[in-house]
Amino acid sequence: MDASQCLVLLFTALVFFALLRKLLWSPQVPDFLRSPYTHPGPWYPLKIMAARVWLTWKLIKIPRVLNNVIDREYDDVSSEGYKQIGKLAPTNAEMAWEQPHQLKTMIDFDGLSFYGTDGSGTFLQVAINRLINRQAQVTLLFTVKDGTVYQLPVAPDTLISNTYGRDSFNSNGALKFQLIEAMRKWRVTFNGLAKRRRHGKESEVHLKINLLWAAFSRPFEFKREFSRKLLAQGMARERWRGKLEWSQMSEPTVDGVDQWGVLCGTYQDSSLGDEKEIYLRSLRQRRWGQNNASTLRRKLDLIGTCEDGNYFYLSATSDSARLTHEVWGHIYQPNGFLYKINACDLDLESLGEKGPFPNHFSIHFAAKNRNYHAVIHLLPSTPTEHFIGRPWRHRSTTYPSQLTLNSRQGRAMLVATHFYDGNCPLESEVSVPYLSAPTRQPSSAELEKLVLLFDEEACRFDSLVGGKGSSLALLTSDLKKFPVECKVPAGFCVTVNAWKAQLKNNEEVGAVFKHLEDVATGVVEGKLEESCAQAEKLVSSVPVDALLQDCIREALQEIFGDDAEQKRFAVRSSAVGEDGDVLSSAGQNITVLGCQGFDSLKKGLQKCWASLLSYQSVEYRRQHGEPLIPGMGVVIQEMVDAEAAGVLFTVNPNDGDPGKMILTANYGLGESVVSASADPDTFYIKRTAAGELSVSSRMVGSKQSKIILSNDGTREEKITEEDAVVLCLPDGKVLEIGQLGVYLEKAFGGPRDLEFAVSRGALYLLQARPVTALDAWTDFELRHEFDSPILTDSDYFTKANTGEVFPGATSPLGLSVTASSLDLSFQFVMKEQFGKHFEVNPWCIGRFNLFHQNQVFINVIDTFQRDIEEEITAHHRSVDMAIFGHLVSNSTMHQIGKQRFGIAGWGVKYLRFRHMFMDMCFNNRRVKRAVRKFSDYSIPSEKYIDSQKLYDEICSQLPRLLEISNIHLQVSRAGTITQLIAFIILLDGRDEWTPELYGEMAQLLSSISNIESADVPVALKQIAQAILKSEDAKEFSEHSPEIASVWLETDPGLAGRLFRSFIARHGHRGIKEFDVATETWAMNTRPLVSVLQSMVANPASLAPTSQPTKSNDDWLKIIGQSKPGKYRALKFFVPRSRNAVIAREKTKSLLIRTIHVFRMAYRRLAHLLVR
């Protein structure tokens, strides 16, 4: 190489490195305030190429978490992925993503949002973004068809303080998101005050919303499913300074998923009357990570729902710390695919940047080789504003809009967020101290204590002292911060450990407890009430342990000194789980009032312990699925000689209205109010969203008597006529108690039920428990809990086929196990048949077998309109006849099918004929495999004595149910194909469906014999005939089914032998045999015996037919006389059609037998759970 070549090479290298340095490095970042958006520079195309290479590497390094199993392992029944899917339950990763995430820093957030519209004027936007220190950014925007708008009372502000402190999506008792099944179902409820804008007037009303959200799309992992093209374009606009900045630009600071689904339920404005139903197509967004409030300048979110089943989401963001112009999104297509948007012309700078948002604009975008043109028309209704942060950092404006997407109509929600530098009239807020049990676990020393004082931290553990005791300890810890002066009467708790120590070594008590549990769970026969009375009497007679007596004396001396003997005490039951968020257990266990002296305290303690075993208390826990004998703490507390006492509900307990607080009170002790032995005074306290209280109405109760302290405890005393007609509390004291209730609602994070007493003008707080009835499910929710989402209003559904195996309503367990397994198996069969043209979606159960009000339907469009031609063909009509027995498809269905799935191309047609060939050739092999694997299949459930282990075993076996369901559907498809071919041969090119043709098809269907299920009526007829020939025929038909059943089961004659043989062969079958909750013939023979009794009582029904029978092939011979070619083709296919149907019935019987195995396993599990 000479010198000139070296110089050229050196010069080229210098130019290349100079260009690379210019491309990758810039000495300064654009000024945010002066230039909010960066623009493509001269190296823009080259930078896009470099960014796409970088992003390709990132996609390989960071794969999807929730979807990869479906992508790779859906068809391998031995794979771990198939086992995960086959459990029909969320995976551990899905549950972890859905659970609330821990918040550690001031910039952390954890959010969940729902957007929905019904396409006719109803819009819903609800969101909870959890922040640290019991705060949250909460949004509620609900617009109904008549233009009425509901928002939170604090709107346009969104900051809510004093949220429910435990990790949950519960704003402050009003707006709640409850997880039902991860990535599949949520419950959205609102029960509180709302600001209503109606006909130009604004008012404050009580609003109730109860919705169930069900997914119809897979989760979209936006952090791992980004479009390389769009993100590279955003990166290429920025100035690069190296690999670190590349990482920051290419990876957002938040994670989460988007998912499309349906919100259905009811809402009720208490001022407008009855509740109304709504059905909204919805987008759910789950987010967590670090918010970018300090650097976010602008953000646009566009949620579009179209009438044909296309649903899309577009987002454009300008963030000075990452990308000044980032666009991404996804679209769900009605064919079941969810794609990322990989091209879009949305430009933030030209859309509402320097002026008002345009009333009309359009956006072009593309996804998976399809182009879309969205035209947005903002509706004339006033847009709604929300301000985010405190002080306000951003203004978010929601525009309800009309959508036109590729000439299809729909609705859209446009949410425009801008940086806000205006005035914020609100000051910073701080949540009040949270009253809750310590987050740590009790120490070993604390677990062993027999007595705990109210001011000890360990006394705040429900598990140590019970619900009532822990609540009093929490109230005692925060008295100085209460807004009104009040006291908690001094006292202490006898711990649950003391209860255990008292009874631990008493063999007689252990035996009685064991007998009580066995009676309650049905292990042994007996009367529960008698067992409870025996246990209650025994526990009350057991002497109090000497060590515990010493501990109680020490506590009395420490708190009350030498005055303890003269004090009056209340000894109050405090069971574990009592006064909790789910169950209050109010009034289930006793309280002993007016105890004086140590002996009286001991007797009260024994009575409280014994009350845990009372029939009332045990039955309450049994009915609510709680432990029968959970353990008991006991509160020993100084009595207040009350002049008046009562109860305050911080919300109306009947409907949850926080604007109507209810206080009831009477003279004397509160026992007369709590026990409802007297008609108390009632005060209604009006509360505004701003926290202003006023007494709106008062009702003087009859108050004929009151309970007061006496020498031997308490006594009832008559109230004078003068006092009875006067309110027992003045308005000032009522409002004071109301203020205390509002504060405690904030401190606990939800509505409270307070017990109080007033003595010498001083206010005493005796109890504060949650109001537990507010989260009860509505009738609508209970009816529609298992409903599948319906994609569009133009879908069609039928009970054909499913009406036979799922007649009437199916049990919840049957839907979640059997019906869900069949639906998922159908998806696997469709994937096998359509290949890349179909995507398995285990998150949408009920995709083909749709569930509605516990009924099972078939989705006609998704199931039968996927493989179609330009016009309805003979092939399609033959499918109708094979499936339904009559023509179903019409031009409307056909048109929807074409729009949704397109006309079958050569690839689909190739797969169609390939599977027809495979089904005809290998169907018998599938049946043999099923017989070999499932004829003796069993779950050894009887050997399990631990319910959790049995449940785990059942879950691990569920993929086997999925496997036999899959085989049955494949074999059924083969039977349908052979019938289809036979029908096409019968058509013989005819377009018109004549009566002659229908007759030939009917003869084809009726010619199939030797089917297993046909053996059932024949066998029953043989049994009935054998009974008729016996001497006991008359008595058999006249006896009750129970007695007749016993006779058949023990009869040594022919009838008994035939009956027992029938049960051995078909005992796993019955009416509604696909439902695991059904009792089969072997489990309950009475329905079967009732049928036999009817047959025996009517001997004429057993007589053989007098008409001569024709051969199954006589009709074929008639066809052969006129059309020999048609005859030869039918002669080949009809036997195969018969064999295919016989094979279908064989696998159906195996499927039913497998379902029966799970039925018995679930029954064993239920037995263990009850125990």
Which of these, 777, 741, 770, lies nearest to 585 by C-alpha position? 770
Q: How far is CA 815 from CA 320, 692, 855, in A?
A: 50, 49, 9
Secondary structure (3-state) at 685: strand
Task: Give 1120's pLDDT tier (boundaries 50, 70, 90).
Answer: low
350-356 contacts, C-beta under 8 A, 24 or more apart: 351/300, 352/416, 353/298
Which of these, 142, 172, 690, lies nearest to 426 by C-alpha position? 690
Which of these, 257, 260, 305, lies nearest to 111 by C-alpha position? 257
**Range(s) for CATH 3.30.1490.20 in the chain?**
448-477+487-638
Q: What is the DSSP string of 837-858?
A: G----TTSTTSSEEEETTEEEE
User: Parallel, antiparallel, or unpaired: how do β-strands 660-667 and 681-687 relate?
Assistant: antiparallel
Weakest-pLDDT range from 399-403, 434-438, 1102-1106? 1102-1106
Q: Hunting for tokens 């290419």 — which residue is that? A: 250
874's enclosing H/E stretch is helix 874-884
Mean pLDDT calculated for residue range 791-806: 87
DSSP state of 505: T
Amino acid at 61: K
Longest dimension (CA), the chain: 125
**Token pair belonging to 47:** 């930078």
Find out whether 1011 and 963 touch, Cβ atoms under 8 Å. Answer: no
How many whole angstroms separate alpha carbon 1022 and alpha carbon 1027?
Answer: 9
Amino acid at 240: W
Q: What is the DSSP string of 555-618?
A: HHHHHHGGGGGT--EEEEEEETTTT-SS---TTSS-EEEEE-SHHHHHHHHHHHHHHTTSHHHH
How many whole angstroms separate alpha carbon 799 and alpha carbon 222?
Answer: 38
How many whole angstroms separate alpha carbon 409 and alpha carbon 50?
Answer: 40
What is the arrangement of strands in the sheet containing 491-494, beginning at the earlier edge strand?
A: 451-453, 491-494, 632-638, 569-575, 591-595
Find out whether 849 and 189 touch, Cβ atoms under 8 Å. Answer: no
Decide if pLDDT at 589 tops 80: yes
628's enclosing H/E stretch is none
Task: Give 633's pLDDT tier (boundaries 50, 70, 90).
Answer: very high
Task: Give 123's pLDDT tier (boundaries 50, 70, 90).
Answer: very high
How many whole angstroms separate alpha carbon 287 and alpha carbon 67?
Answer: 18
How many whole angstroms separate alpha carbon 82 and alpha carbon 961?
Answer: 12
Q: How many helices (H) and strands (E) does the chain have?
A: 35, 37
pLDDT in tens, 167-200: 788 887 789 999 999 999 999 999 999 999 988 8
User: What's the distance, Cα to Cα, between the start and end of the chain in Å?
Assistant: 92
pLDDT score at 1108: 47
Measured N-to-C along each axis, helices 598-611 and 546-560 cross at an angle, to the nearest 10 degrees, of 120
Mean pLDDT calculated for residue range 203-221: 95
Find out whether 1032 and 1096 touch, Cβ atoms under 8 Å. Answer: no
Find out whether 23 and 240 touch, Cβ atoms under 8 Å. Answer: yes
pLDDT score at 992: 65
Task: Give 475's pLDDT tier (boundaries 50, 70, 90).
Answer: very high
Find out whether 917 and 833 touch, Cβ atoms under 8 Å. Answer: no
How many whole angstroms separate alpha carbon 802 and alpha carbon 851?
Answer: 11
Find out whether 336 and 841 touch, Cβ atoms under 8 Å. Answer: yes
DSSP state of 772: G
Decide if pLDDT at 1063 tops 90: no
Secondary structure (3-state) at 139: strand
Percent of the chain with pLDDT over 90: 44
Domain 644-775 has CATH 3.40.50.300: no
pLDDT score at 1083: 87
Measured N-to-C along each axis, helices 496-503 and 462-477 cross at an angle, to the nearest 10 degrees, of 150
Decide if pLDDT at 35 tops 80: no
How many whole angstroms separate alpha carbon 22 and alpha carbon 43?
Answer: 9
Task: Give 29's pLDDT tier (boundaries 50, 70, 90).
Answer: very low
Alpha carbons within 13 angstroms on the beta-carbon side of residue 143 total 24
Instruction: Quickly list H helices, 647-712.
Output: 671-674
How many whole angstroms separate alpha carbon 748 and alpha carbon 166?
Answer: 10
pLDDT score at 1065: 85
pLDDT score at 481: 87
DSSP state of 818: I
739's enclosing H/E stretch is helix 731-748
Find out whether 464 and 576 touch, Cβ atoms under 8 Å. Answer: no
**Token pair belonging to 92:** 């551990």
Burial 700-718 (b: 16+ CB within 10 A, else e): ebebebbbbbeeeebeeee
Q: How far is CA 553 from CA 319, 556, 558, 559, 844, in A?
A: 67, 5, 9, 10, 62
**Range(s) for CATH 3.30.470.20 in the chain?**
644-775
How many whole angstroms separate alpha carbon 221 and alpha carbon 66?
Answer: 8
How many whole angstroms separate alpha carbon 1070 and alpha carbon 440?
Answer: 53
pLDDT score at 994: 62
Instruction: Pick from 739-748, 887-896, 990-999 the range whose average pLDDT is largest.
Output: 739-748
Find out whether 424 and 442 touch, Cβ atoms under 8 Å. Answer: no
How many whole angstroms separate alpha carbon 1143 and alpha carbon 974?
Answer: 9
Cβ-based burial of 119 (10 A; exposed 0-12, middle 13-18, buried ≥19): middle
Amino acid at 850: L
What is the arrangement of strands in the sheet containing 849-852, beginning at the earlier edge strand?
A: 797-798, 855-859, 849-852
Mean pLDDT calculated for residue range 306-312: 95
The total of other beta-carbon atoms located within 10 Å of residue 10's CB is: 10
1156's enclosing H/E stretch is helix 1124-1170
CA angle 242, 248, 252 (to 5 degrees): 160
How many whole angstroms separate alpha carbon 87 and alpha carbon 955?
Answer: 6
Find out whether 460 and 623 touch, Cβ atoms under 8 Å. Answer: no
Decide if pLDDT at 367 tops 90: yes
Find out whether 363 and 346 touch, Cβ atoms under 8 Å. Answer: yes
Domain 448-477+487-638 has CATH 3.30.1490.20: yes
pLDDT score at 1118: 63
Amino acid at 545: D
Q: Which residue has the higher pLDDT, 889 or 795?
A: 795
Percent of the chain with pLDDT over 70: 89
Which of these, 1082, 1052, 1047, lies nearest to 1064 by C-alpha position? 1082
pLDDT in tens, 261-270: 999 999 999 8
Decide if pLDDT at 19 tops 60: no
pLDDT in tens, 51-104: 888 888 877 767 778 865 554 544 566 666 666 676 788 888 889 999 999 998
Task: Give 1168's pLDDT tier (boundaries 50, 70, 90).
Answer: confident
Mean pLDDT estimate for the chain: 86
Find out whether 430 and 318 touch, Cβ atoms under 8 Å. Answer: no
Task: Give 1002's pLDDT tier (boundaries 50, 70, 90).
Answer: low
Alpha carbons within 13 angstroms on the beta-carbon side of residue 768 total 30
DSSP state of 668: B
pLDDT in tens, 911-935: 888 878 887 788 888 889 999 999 9
How many whole angstroms separate alpha carbon 463 and alpha carbon 668?
Answer: 33
298's enclosing H/E stretch is strand 296-306
Which of these, 845, 732, 737, lies nearest to 87 by C-alpha position? 845
Task: Give 1069's pLDDT tier (boundaries 50, 70, 90).
Answer: confident
Which of these, 176, 262, 283, 263, lies nearest to 219 by C-alpha position? 283
**Token pair belonging to 1105:** 């037919």
pLDDT score at 119: 82
Instruction: Pick from 942-951, 998-1007, 1046-1055 the range whose average pLDDT is largest.
Output: 942-951
1134's enclosing H/E stretch is helix 1124-1170
Residues in the chain, overall count? 1171
Q: Which residue has the higher pLDDT, 360 or 382?
A: 360
Q: Which residue has the higher pLDDT, 505 or 808?
A: 808
